[in-house]
Amino acid sequence: MDRPIGVTILAFLAALLAVLNGIATLRFLGFFPFLGPLDIRIFNLWYALLYGLITYIWAWVARMLWQVDRQAWMFLAVITVFNLCLDFVILITGGSWFDVNLSVIINALILVYVMLPGVREAFGTD
């Protein structure tokens, strides 16, 4: 199947979110103490596991989008809303905007873009 440019852009954005979540995973494992407002080592295995799982999910979504899988459109919409909810919870519970700014912006752009009729048509979900 031919891959439209919009689906390619979505695949690259999903891969970018996988990289960002991978960096967050490494931060919670204590590898990047110099990223963020605090210049200390933070080790939290639970957060590292959760961010690692989200990294895997975004990589899987990017692969599904690259192959123009029909179910990728719905899964992308669901996982984007889930990520926006998680970012909102992080902000409410005392997290800083620095921690989630790229994630919120990219997820919001993906959610708006994935609802356009041309993208829905590319996946055959009309």
User: What pLDDT shows up at residue 52?
Assistant: 94
What is the rounded average pLDDT of the residues 84-102? 84
Q: Name the DSSP letter for residue 36.
A: S
Structure tokens at 11: 């695949």
Q: Pick the more confident residue, 58 or 68.
A: 58
- Using pLDDT thresholds of 50, 70 and 90, give the confidence band for residue 119: confident
Phi, psi (degrees; rounded to nearest 5) at 85: -65, -45
Neighbours of 124 (CB within 10 A): 10
- Burial zone of 97 (CB within 10 Å; 0-12 exposed, 13-18 middle, 19+ buried): exposed
Neighbours of 23 (CB within 10 A): 16
- Using pLDDT thresholds of 50, 70 and 90, give the confidence band for residue 64: very high
Statement: residue 27 has pLDDT above 80: yes
pTM of the model: 0.83
Structure tokens at 7: 């689906």
Closest CA to 85 of 65, 100, 66: 100
Statement: residue 67 has pLDDT above 60: yes
Chain-centroid distance, C-alpha 4 = 21
User: What pLDDT shows up at residue 100?
Assistant: 81
Q: Rounded to the nearest 5 degrees, what angle is found at the Cα of 77, between the Cα atoms of 73 and 79?
A: 115
User: What pLDDT shows up at residue 16?
Assistant: 94
Q: Pick the more confident residue, 118 or 107.
A: 107
Statement: residue 35 has pLDDT above 70: no
